[in-house]
Amino acid sequence: MEKPQPPSDLWEQLDAVIKEVVPFQPPDSFTIKEYRVKYGIPRCTAQDQVQKLCDAGKLEKIRHGNRVYFRLVNGKG
């Protein structure tokens, strides 16, 4: 009995499936972790600052599954 062979386009099929289930980061957005690292501040401080910017209408919150991203409103500071 021969061992079954994978389809010739196995990797292309796998790439397509991964794109469907793995969250992607929207363009021109950032995470709390990226903000924290950029400014060298603790996570709780980064969360506070980003929340204040959201409350002021300067940032918008974008949810993708259980991930949260932020970006400037209208792409301006």
Q: pLDDT tens string for the chain (77 positions)?
A: 788 888 889 999 898 888 777 777 888 999 999 999 999 999 999 999 999 999 999 999 999 878 899 999 985 54
The single residue listed with the structure tokens 């793995």 is 22
- At residue 52, φ and ψ (nearest 5 deg) are -65, -40
Q: CATH fold of 26-75, please?
A: Arc Repressor Mutant, subunit A (1.10.10)
Domain ranges of the chain: 26-75
Asked if residues 32 and 44 have their Cβ atoms less than 8 Å apart, the reply is no
At 77 the pLDDT is: 46
